[in-house]
């Protein structure tokens, strides 16, 4: 049953790579924005909050199109990155990772923000009286205490990235071996006669991946909780 | 010899705090009813709360001076602080909690210091536990140990016994008295309980409604009706 063709394996490997890179690259930004929203009051905070959540409520095709006109080769940001850093997004797997990262971003930020808001700031005060400067307080107290939220956000973003379809296909199309993920491969297979068996295989893989991600986060979350409450 | 000089003003909601006192070696009690501003004063000494105006000096170091825009951040004050609720880090073991200050300042490990303080507070058998698995009294002893291990120039204790039941109070007070007599670190001890302060205080500053109502020896504790504050 799970006798995948090389093309199908490529789609699976590419999907994993895209989801991993998207989540890893989004994480530092997710922590920074989550921290800003949880801890700081500034002009335009509601606007930032809205922008972060926009991919959640916009049609994915719209998000993909916005990425295309801004990060495409002729887009203002895309042209800048190409000229100065040689980074190209359009019709590359990196573009798929960007699309997945943007789509997963609200799901990443929200649990991190909630976890940061729930932290007892008195513990941070205690750390500062023990000689920790602000950066050390953040990395030795704040971030470890927010770990369960961090894990939840990472999982949600990763899962979103695994299944992203609309924004990815709009932004970087559906090129086998470059931007064709499991989702877009299934879509292609359903469009051709006799593609059902292959589509079924990829669907099973997709379910397996989703389950594995869910179990991994459950396990990590439980370990993080145990760490806080003793054995 | 004067160790600590505090002269601060701060508006806290309806309370206009104006506190000025000096403390020497030994244990200075900040005594007074709830809402008198005791914790706020201690937080200002620690650097966790910024006074509107005034100055705070410890030994020959100015920690805060609004006139000269001096405000040493808490992590550079080297003032040990034992909070009412202990505030141990739940994600770290007792040993890691005790070691936290040394790790943050990057000092080399001093096993002798660690052993001595663990013995003084009788917490050597708790080192591998998590704070969640400690009794209230054990938690406060670890909190005292953690504050002592930064080798503080001054130790602040904010109602360290308030969250404990009577039995645990009796359990921990002797450790604090021993600390006063053996460690030689000046202490500021906040409490609203005269009986507790009689055991530990050497001088008393009585606060009421944001002002210093009286300052002197422990006879001030007798003048106040301790029951009124209980």
Of the candidate ranges A123-132, B116-125, B165-174, B210-219, the one whose mean pLDDT is the lowest: B165-174
Cα B133 to chain centroid distance, Å, stands at 24
Q: Tell me which residue of B142, B4, B18, B9 sits closest to B79, measured CA to CA.
A: B4
**Interface mutation vs chain B, best among A120, A124, A126, A135, most B CBs within 10 Å:** A126
The residues spanned by each domain of chain A are 13-181
Q: Residues A147-166: what's their mean pLDDT?
A: 92
B2-89+154-229 belongs to CATH 2.60.40.10: no
Any bridge partners for residue B70, and if so which?
B65
pLDDT for res B194: 87
| B108 confidence band (pLDDT: 50, 70, 90) | confident
pLDDT of residue B29: 93
The rounded distance, in Å, linking the Cα atoms of B86 and B78 is 18
Classify B40 in phi/psi space as left (phi over 0), alpha (psi -120 to 50) or beta.
Answer: alpha
Alpha-carbon Rg for chain A in angstroms: 20
Dig out the tokens for A8 from the structure. Answer: 């199908």
CB atoms within 10 A of CB A179: 24
- For residues B106-118, give the mean pLDDT: 85
Predicted-assembly ipTM surpassing the 0.85 threshold: yes
Q: Which residue has the tokens 């244990």?
A: B27
- Read off the pTM: 0.86
Query: Smallest Cβ distance to A125: which of B48, B80, B130?
Result: B48
Sequence length of chain A is 231
Let me know: does B58 contact B153? Beta carbons within 8 Å: yes
pLDDT value, residue B34? 85
Q: Are A52 and A105 in contact (CB under 8 A)?
A: yes
Cβ neighbours around B10 below 10 Å, total: 21
Which percentage of chain A shows pLDDT scores above 70? Answer: 97
**Cα–Cα distance measured from residue A155 to residue B62, given in angstroms and rounded to the nearest whole number:** 49
Confidence of residue A228 (pLDDT cuts 50, 70, 90): low
Lowest mean pLDDT across A77-81, B107-111, B122-126 = B107-111
Instruction: Say yes or no to pLDDT of B199 above 70.
Output: yes
Asked if residue A99 lies in contact with residue A63, where contact means CB atoms within 8 angstroms, the answer is yes
Chain A: residue whose CA lies nearest to B100:
A130
Contact between B214 and B206 (Cβ < 8 Å): yes
The CA distance from A92 to A143, in Å, is 34
Q: How confident is the model at residue B230 (pLDDT cuts 50, 70, 90)?
A: very low
> Average pLDDT of A130-151?
94
Question: How confident is the model at residue B224, as a pLDDT?
Answer: 58
A4 confidence band (pLDDT: 50, 70, 90): confident
Residues in A touching B89 (Cβ below 8 Å) = 123, 126-127, 141
Whether residue A175 is predicted with pLDDT greater than 80 in this model: the reply is yes
Q: Which CATH number describes the domain made up of A13-181?
A: 1.10.3720.10
A131/B90 CB distance under 8 A: no
Q: Report the pLDDT value the prediction gives residue A16, as an integer from 0 to 100.
A: 94
Q: Within a 10 A sphere around the Cβ of B74, how many other Cβ atoms? A: 25
Distance of CA A99 to the CA centre of its chain: 9
Mean predicted lDDT score pLDDT of chain B: 88
Strand order in the sheet with B61-65: B70-71, B61-65, B53-58, B2-12, B15-24, B211-216, B203-208, B27-31, B187-191, B154-158, B79-82
CB B212 within 8 A of CB B29: no
* Helix %, strand %, coil % of chain B (to 5): 40, 30, 30
Identify whether the C-beta of residue B215 lies closer than 8 Å to the C-beta of residue B205. yes
For residue A172, what are its two tokens? 């970087």
Please indicate whether, in this complex, the C-beta atoms of A122 and B150 are within 8 angstroms of each other: no
Taking any CB pair shorter than 8 Å as contact, residues of chain A touching chain B are: 120, 122-123, 125-133, 136, 140-141, 144-145, 147, 227-231
Encoded tokens for A104:
């997963």
A202 has pLDDT over 80 = yes
Distance from CA of B100 to the nearest CA of A (A): 7
Q: Which of B46, B101, B130 is opposite residue A131, by nearest beta carbon? A: B101
Chain B residues at the A interface, defined by Cβ less than 8 Å, are 46-48, 73-81, 83, 85, 87, 89-91, 100-101, 104-105, 129-130, 132-133, 146-147, 150
CB of B215 within 8 A of CB of B6? no
Q: Provide the β-strand partners of residue B204.
A: B29, B216
Name the token pair of A231: 């054995």
- β-partners of residue B81 are B156
Angle between helices A147-163 and A6-39 (to 10 degrees): 140
**Is 50 exceeded by the pLDDT of residue B145?**
yes
């Amino acid at each position: 049953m799970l006798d995948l063709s090389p093309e199908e394996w490529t789609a699976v490997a590419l999907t994993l790579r895209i989801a991993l890179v998207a989540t890893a690259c989004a994480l530092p930004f997710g922590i920074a924005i989550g921290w800003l929203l949880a801890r700081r009051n500034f002009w335009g905070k509601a606007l930032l909050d809205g922008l972060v959540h926009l991919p959640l409520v916009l049609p994915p095709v719209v998000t993909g199109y916005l990425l295309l006109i801004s990060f495409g080769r002729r887009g203002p940001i895309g042209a800048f990155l190409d000229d100065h850093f040689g980074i190209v997004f359009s019709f590359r797997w990196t573009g798929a990772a960007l699309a997945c990262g943007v789509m997963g971003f609200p799901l990443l930020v929200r649990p991190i923000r909630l976890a940061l808001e729930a932290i007892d700031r008195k513990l941070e005060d205690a750390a500062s009286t023990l000689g920790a400067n602000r950066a050390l307080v953040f990395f030795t107290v704040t971030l470890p205490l927010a770990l369960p939220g961090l894990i939840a956000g990472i999982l949600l973003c990763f899962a979103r990235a695994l299944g992203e379809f609309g924004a990815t296909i709009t932004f970087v199309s559906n090129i086998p071996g470059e931007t064709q993920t499991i989702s877009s491969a299934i879509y292609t297979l359903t469009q051709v006669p006799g593609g059902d068996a292959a589509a079924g295989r990829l669907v099973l893989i997709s379910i397996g991946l989703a389950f594995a991600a869910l179990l991994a986060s459950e396990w990590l979350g439980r370990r993080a909780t145990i760490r806080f409450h003793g054995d | 010899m004067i160790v600590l000089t505090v002269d601060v003003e701060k508006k806290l909601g309806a309370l206009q705090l104006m506190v000025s006192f000096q403390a020497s070696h030994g244990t200075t009690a900040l005594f007074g009813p709830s809402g008198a501003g005791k914790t706020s004063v201690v937080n200002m000494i620690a650097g966790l709360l910024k006074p509107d105006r005034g100055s705070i000096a410890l030994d020959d170091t100015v920690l805060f001076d609004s006139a000269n825009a001096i405000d040493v951040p808490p992590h550079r004050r080297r003032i040990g602080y034992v909070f009412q609720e202990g505030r141990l880090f739940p994600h770290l073991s007792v040993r890691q909690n005790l070691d936290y200050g040394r790790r943050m300042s990057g000092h080399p490990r001093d096993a002798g210091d660690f052993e001595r303080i663990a013995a003084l507070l009788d917490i050597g058998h708790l080192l591998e536990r998590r704070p969640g698995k400690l009794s209230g009294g054990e938690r406060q002893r670890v909190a005292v140990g953690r504050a002592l291990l930064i080798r503080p120039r001054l130790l602040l204790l904010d109602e360290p016994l308030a969250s404990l039941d009577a039995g645990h109070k009796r359990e921990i007070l002797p450790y604090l008295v021993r600390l006063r007599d053996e460690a030689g670190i000046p202490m500021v001890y906040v409490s609203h309980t005269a009986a507790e302060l009689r055991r530990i205080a050497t001088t008393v500053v009585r606060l009421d409604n944001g002002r210093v109502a009286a300052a002197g020896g422990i006879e001030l504790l007798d003048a106040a009706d301790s029951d009124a504050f209980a």
